[in-house]
Every structure is written in C-alpha cells, then in structure tokens.
Chains A and B, each alone.
Chain A
Amino acid sequence: MAKIVIVDDSETIRSQLKQALESAGHTVTEAVNGNDGYDKIVAMGKPDLVISDYNMPGADGISMLAKVKDKLGAGIFPIFMLTTETSESLKTAGKEIGVNAWINKPFDSAKLLSAVTKMLARKAAS
C-alpha cells in the first residue's frame, strides 16, 4: 500500500484522514504545518501521495509544496489540496506547482479514499 504524507495544522482533520487512510492499508506520516510538511516530505524523498491543507501557520500549503518542488523536482508524487479555500486563483496557483486534485473541507472519507485509489492507480500506470 502507499506511503502518504498528510499536512494539516488541525489535529482533528489529521486524525480523520489517518483513520480513513490506515483503514485502507496505507501508511501515514503526519505533519503539523507547512514547515514540518517540507521537512517530512524531503526526508521521505518520494512519498506516494501528499495531502495538504492550504491555510497553516508558517508556510501555507502551496508555498510549502513549491519549496518541495524546487528541492525534489516536479511531478514526482501526486498532490491533493484539502482546504476550505475555493478561490479560482489559488486553484490555478496549485495547478502550476503540480497539485492534482482540490478537495473542499469538510471532506467525506469514502470519496477521499476513492480519489486516493484512483490517483495511485493513475500514478502506477504512468
């Protein structure tokens, strides 16, 4: 199963995500903000998927992922943004740094897991 990094400053959201992803057999690494997310993703080198919030203390999700992209290169793992943000300009900024899907909070675990499965299959096929 996949190694997935979740980056969110909300413990509640991280717990919900972890519960859902681990129930599907995935291994989850938690990061509590953008800076922690950068450190953990870079340390891991190549996670199978990153799920990140946008609004967090320190670095926001897109800035953090842009920094990761500079360090590790683009397109080496899929990225989901999980956020209350709905702004089209942010979605465009996300696309530019390689975000593959945008999910608005609150999320539905079954839909999220289905999207994860779909994305991992797409990644495996490529």
Chain B
Amino acid sequence: MSTSTLEFLETYIVKSVKVGLKRYGKDGTFTISNREGAENKSTHYSDRISIILLWSNIGAITLKIHFKIETAKKLAGKIFNLPATQIADEAAMDFMRELNNIVGGGIRGDFEKNKILVGMSLPFVAQGMDEAVFKKIRDPRTTCNVQKLSNGEDEVTVSTEIYLEDAEAVERVRETLQKDLDARDNSDTDNLGDVDFF
C-alpha cells in the first residue's frame, strides 16, 4: 500500500472542496492549510458538520466539512447577494449540504470518467458541538486527515477518512483525476452549467 496514494486522495479531496467553494460558493479566495493527519493531536471545533459518503469497489471516503453557522450564512449570502444577517439558519445549513453534494458529485464524476463507479449518499448536516477526532489508525489501507480552508475572514475545516482497498486502481487514473480537478480549478466559471440538449 502506497502512503502517497492515500495522501494524493486526501489532497485531491480537500482541493475539490476549494473548487466547490469557488464554483458553487462564488468565492475563489480560499487557501488550504497544511495537512494534519490523524497522528496530530490538535483538535478542531465547530458547531455543525456537512457529511457525505462515497464508496466503490476500490474503497470508501467519508468527507466532512465542519463549519460555524455564521460562516455558512456569509458563504450562502454571497450566492444570493444578501448580507449574512438575512440568511436563515436552515438556508445556511442547506447551502453547506448542497456544497458537499456538489463536491461529492464532482469527485464521483471524475472517477466515473475513468470507469470507476462510485456510489454517493445524500448529504446531511449534523448539528451540535463537534470535534474532529479520529480513532487510532491501525489499518494501513486507511487514513484520516484534517485541513482548514480560509478566505482570510472565515474558515471551514475539512476532515476526511479514506479506506483504500485497491491503490493501484487509483494510481492508474491519478494523473487524469489531477488534470480534471486542476482544469476545474483553473477555468473561469464560463463552463458552469453547460446545457446538454438531447
């Protein structure tokens, strides 16, 4: 099992969230902090988590975006051109749920282009004080990671738990996955929502 394959996936997923914030959240100013693996003992508190699960025959991913409701209101306000004070809690949580849906959908789409079928849960938001903590990792096929995304004013925390059964399958498509994600990140938003007429 190559650790670098798991680390590649961690980086790819966090960057997918950054791209989601840019393309859906209309905020391209987020930067990504350094990786903090499960061995890091620092804790990350937030009051809500948007969660989505992805799985396939080569492995599984749990992707959580930890956020404060005030941050979610500011982010949701950007797409409606409204101040955060005019965004209700439920609307802000829905925005974070849909953000994770779009991020997860992008990840699944990238894999499916490479003939790796991926299942995806509906996104959901859990409320209540949350701490990103992972169990001690003993299985070398599993990794956990925490990284923060900040736009200078606000931040969200992304935590991932990845179980990878078939690292070679990822290695075979790694370059394409990276290229597709980079293309989405580097493109302006002109290709958003292209309509495919039948």
Show the binding face of A for B, using Cβ within 8 Å. 9-13, 15-16, 19, 55-57, 80, 83-87, 91, 94-95, 99-108, 111-112, 114-115
CB neighbors of A among B170-198 (8 A): 189, 192-198
**Interface of B, helix, strand, loop or mixed by DSSP:** helix
Question: Which of these, B97, B102, B122, B198, contacts A95 with CB under 8 Å?
Answer: B198
A111 engages B195 (CB within 8 Å): yes
Chain A residue at minimal CB-CB distance from B195: A115
How many chain B residues have a CB neighbour from A under 8 Å?
A: 30
Complex interface: chain A residues within 8 A of B196 (CB): 91, 101-103
The 8 closest A-B pairs by CB, nearest first: A84-B105, A107-B193, A86-B109, A106-B24, A108-B193, A115-B195, A108-B192, A102-B196
Complex interface: chain B residues within 8 A of A55 (CB): 101, 120, 122
Complex interface: chain A residues within 8 A of B91 (CB): 11-12, 15
Complex interface: chain B residues within 8 A of A108 (CB): 189, 192-193
Question: Quick check: is B130 within 8 A (CB to CB) of the other chain?
Answer: no
B95 engages A12 (CB within 8 Å): yes
**Interface of A, helix, strand, loop or mixed by DSSP:** mixed
A105 engages B24 (CB within 8 Å): yes
A99 to B79, CA, bound (A): 28
The minimal Cβ–Cβ distance linking A83 to chain B, given in whole angstroms, is 8
